[in-house]
Chain A
Amino acid sequence: MRQISLVCINCPVGCRLAVDLDENCEFYSVTGNSCPRGAIYAKEEIMLPKRMLTTTVRTNSDVHPCLPVVSVRPVPKELLLDCITFLKGVKIKLPVKKDEIIAMDILGTGVDIVASRSLDS
């Protein structure tokens, strides 16, 4: 049994979590979270750390050369930089509506990347 400490990143509170791991270094239990999302976060951070992806993609516009995009759910942390590299090659033709899908199922993660805002041409 081991215990490690984590900071939950779900919301600005940032609860300090104490996570117990079993003999196989797998998730066993968690304390310190003030809401259920913290428990879920602790489990996932041990099994498969994920992060929300936010970046910008290029557009064909001179007035708004960049469109901010966001992942609808967190993507696996180890694929974060690869997703960014993929999105560097994307150029969007305006107009675009908020929540419109920019990249579906990015790099096979099952997570869509959508526009964070609407932009006119």
Chain B
Amino acid sequence: MRGAGVEAVRRKDDGTFCLTTARGEYNACYVVNAAGVEAAAVSHLFGDNSFEIVPRKGEYLLFDHEVSDDMVKGIVFPVPNEMSKGILVCRTVAGNVFVGPNAMVLEDRLDTSVTAVGQAEIIAGGQRLMKNPLPLGKAITEFAGVRAAIRINAEIKEDFLIGWSKAVPGLYQVAGIQSPGLSAAPAIGEYVAKEIIKEFGMHSSGTVARRGGIVCDTHGGPLLEKNSNRGNVGISGIPMELFNRIICRCEKISEGEIIAAIRRPCGAVTVDGVKRRTRAGMGRCQGGFCVGRVAKILARELGVPLGAVRKDGVNSSIAIHKEKFGEYNSAKMSPSSLDGGYLMERTSVGHIPRFVETLTKEENASYFLDSGRYKSINIDDRLLSLAGEKCNWLNGIRSSIKQNPLCIDRRKVVIVGGGPAGLSAAYGAYQCGVRDILIVERDRETGGVLQQCIHTGFGLHRFNEELTGPGYAERCLDLLKDKAGIEIWNDSMVLEIGADKRLLVASPVRGRNIVKAEAIVLAMGCRERSRGAIRIPGTRPAGVMTAGTAQRLINLEGYLPGRKAVILGSGDIGLIMARRLTLAGCEVKGVFEICSYSNGLARNVHQCLEDFGIPLYLSHTVVDIKGKDRVTSVVIAKVDSAMKPISGTEFEVECDTLLLSVGLIPENELTREAGIEISPVTGGPIVNQYRETSVSGIFAAGNVVQVHDLVDFVSEEAELAGENAALKVQDRLITGETSINVKSGPGIRSCVPQRLRVPIVGTVKLYIRAAKNFKTVEVAASTGERGLIAKKLKAVRPSEMITLELPVEMLGDVNADIMVELKE
């Protein structure tokens, strides 16, 4: 029974307790007080004032599991002090490394906010234990919890308080369960249960269900029928295909597992509830990719509109239906109903929600390898533990994953990703004569991020007309239509790629497939940096999301992320979203940019901000986020030339949404696991002029190689990669044996390709990013003493890619590294 805090207690004449909660009254002979930080408050309600709770907060910083091997294999402890076991560097069971916790006594026992001071403390504490610098650039999230220490007679007891209340017969206290509380909890539970049964005897019949030796009551409602599915955690009843649709890409969590987490006893009813049970949203993108999809699954399973799905607390809705926004503004809607205000109640027979207050109903959207090498074997382990027993169909999948010399599906060219890069690569391969091309796309249709970029500005170079994002995607797809030999698998996720060019693909309709390719083109695109990557202190309410996640919510689902927004980051994505939110009916309070200049195009500053009177604050950043369930305000501060907040310049901006547009990262998890060499500068695979990576036969193009700003260049690069992949499978890709490097000299941040096969045949086009702004500058390439080419440019900015074509006639005999630089 959730949402039922105990508000009052009285003793009835027959000696039993009557507890008054927000959801009605409950009678009990015995009550176990396991209320954590509220244990003292609950105990006082019963009349036992023998102890107080001293809340102590501990903050944590969690790192991407890709850096775990560079940090620790197990745990590093400092020598403990009286307050706590100290700040550790430790691996989680999921393979991440965290730093923390500190110990800070609190006034407000419900304060789980993350603070700048606390983060500095745990980073310093962790750094003291580590030889190498902590990889702060690879942090993915920060969080905090509150310990409940016991104080008796002004003395803090660092021990558990487990036992019958002396003052109140029938009340069993289980309080002060601090470290090692989590590990001790199952044993404590068994002990307490035995104590209660021993002292007063318990009948085994009646309204008590047993599971695994521990006595528990499932819903606080009537007993489940024997035949019902409901008592079973239940992969039975969930269509098998759904275990092959991956929803959380970072942690590889399937839709089937999410549904199981919702349907099981005490199942999830919120997005965070799904996260805690399945790990969906705990990965490096911190839910940016999956939160919308998880919310839709929750909406479908619980039978409520998307706008009623909550992140965690009662007022933490994630989205508002766009169409209803006008209605929300009218006076007759009370504030609590604006978020839906739904209280989900589960009866024991299915889950029929009863709404506390209803809005107008709307139709539900019902939309949405050998063990060491194939890590996805972990999915099967999770499924087995869900089932509690061996299942034949799982064993079938297991054997198909083992290395099999007779591969299941052989293809010539396999393209990972069906966005603009993938579609253009397929076109390039087709033009070269290959008639066996497979595109594997994880979304239900191709187009990638273009499907949500409904604004114009695409295709001016490639198609000679100004298209919207969806329009450009359709044109790319049209080039492939009716061409025999091109197959597209939608709703299919590549789980792993081996250096032997074997791919493991999961999809609901085909199950698990192993595809053996002769050549692969990687076109997975990029993801957005999340809040954790820039470590904004404050609470963790609903309403904080990346600009792209909000863009998808508005343009593909028809929901607003909120009503009053602040945008952090003035790159093009942030600017475009400022306009989109305004046109959709949301108030944008301002766009805040940490640099002293905007990274976005001047045209976007004009048509997205100036047109609507949205203020742009340069050299400012967000230093705190406030709000318990939902954002209520953010705190902004000016920053100095080192981009550090200046104390005393803080001001608060009231809002319910914070959009983050703070950078894009090429999505190279598959690339890294295949053992392909990755550039630390671009975050993408190192490629040569054929866009071949360090593994022969694996090519890459598009945002996965480096973040582009014009999709036209993405298509150009991808066609090149597709052509070369085709030439490779036809044995027509003649490349030299050795490579030279293309070095980034002064003024250059990155240059692609990073290597060139020599001898160089044909033109080479370099894609360059400047390290800073230049007014007038010359971009020059040279090898040894000899200059190759120089080009004068005006108004060069890091956010606008420069291209430099190296002249064919000068390249033939180059066999030493080429240096590229920007000179004023």
A residues at B contact (CB < 8 Å): 6-12, 14, 16, 51-52, 54-56, 58, 62-66, 68, 70, 77, 80-81, 84, 88, 98, 116-118
Contact = CB atoms under 8 A, between A and B. Distances in A.
B460 A56 contact: no
A41 B349 CA distance: 65
B558 A11 contact: no
Contact of B601 (A12, A52, A80): A12
Given A12-B457, A58-B323, A116-B471, A65 B607 contact: no
A68 B454 contact: yes
Given A6-B606, A51-B607, A62-B366, 19 more contacts: A8-B603, A9-B606, A11-B457, A11-B603, A12-B800, A14-B601, A14-B602, A14-B603, A14-B606, A54-B456, A55-B454, A63-B444, A65-B367, A65-B557, A66-B556, A68-B555, A98-B474, A117-B471, A117-B474
Given A58-B323, A77-B611, A70 B555 contact: no
Contacts, number: 89
Given A81-B583, A84-B583, A56 B611 contact: no
A12 B363 CA distance: 41
9 contacts: A11-B460, A16-B602, A55-B454, A56-B554, A66-B556, A66-B558, A70-B471, A116-B468, A116-B471
A66 B611 contact: no
Nearest to A70: B468
A7 B323 contact: no
Contacts of A8: 603
Contacts of B460: 11-12
Contact of A66 (B468, B469, B555, B583): B555
B710 interface: yes
Contacts of B457: 11-12
A56 B468 CA distance: 12
A55 B583 contact: yes
Given A98-B474, A118-B474, A56 B454 contact: yes
Contacts of B800: 12
B606 A7 contact: yes
Interface in B674-732: 709-710
A41 B367 CA distance: 43
Contacts of A81: 583
Contacts of B467: 116
Contacts of B363: 62
A105 B456 CA distance: 20
A56 B471 contact: no
Given A11-B460, A12-B710, A116-B470, A56 B558 contact: yes
Interface of B: 322-323, 326, 363-367, 444, 454-457, 460, 466-471, 473-474, 554-558, 583-584, 601-603, 605-607, 611, 709-710, 800
B559 to A, nearest CB: 9
Q: Which 7 A-B pairs have the closest CB atoms?
A: A117-B470, A14-B602, A68-B454, A9-B603, A116-B468, A14-B603, A7-B602
Nearest to B368: A63
Contact of A98 (B364, B471, B607): B471
A66 B457 CA distance: 20
A9 B576 CA distance: 13
A70 B322 CA distance: 19
Contacts of A11: 457, 460, 466, 603
A116 B470 CA distance: 6
Task: Identify the interface centre among B470, B474, B709, B800: most chain A CB within 10 Å of its CB.
Answer: B470
Contacts of A62: 363-367
Contacts of B584: 55
Task: Identify the interface centre among A7, A11, A54, A63: most chain B CB within 10 Å of its CB.
Answer: A54
A88 B364 CA distance: 20
Task: Identify the interface centre among A77, A116, A118: most chain B CB within 10 Å of its CB.
Answer: A116
Given A8-B603, A9-B606, A16-B602, A68 B470 contact: yes
Contacts of A6: 606
Nearest to A57: B558
A111 to B, nearest CB: 14
Contact of B456 (A16, A52, A63, A66): A52
A63 B445 CA distance: 11
Contacts of B710: 12
A96 to B, nearest CB: 12
Contacts of A58: 323, 558
Contacts of B556: 64-66
A58 B324 CA distance: 12
Nearest to B582: A81
B258 to A, nearest CB: 19
B558 A65 contact: yes
B304 to A, nearest CB: 15
A107 B602 CA distance: 30
Contact of B557 (A14, A51, A66): A66
Contacts of A80: 583
A99 to B, nearest CB: 9
Task: Identify the interface centre among B366, B454, B469: most chain A CB within 10 Å of its CB.
Answer: B454
A100 B589 CA distance: 36
A70 B470 CA distance: 11
A88 B323 CA distance: 7
Contacts of B601: 12, 14
Nearest to B475: A98
A116 B605 CA distance: 24
Contacts of A66: 555-558
Contacts of A68: 454, 468-470, 555
Nearest to B710: A12
Given A7-B603, A8-B603, A117 B473 contact: yes
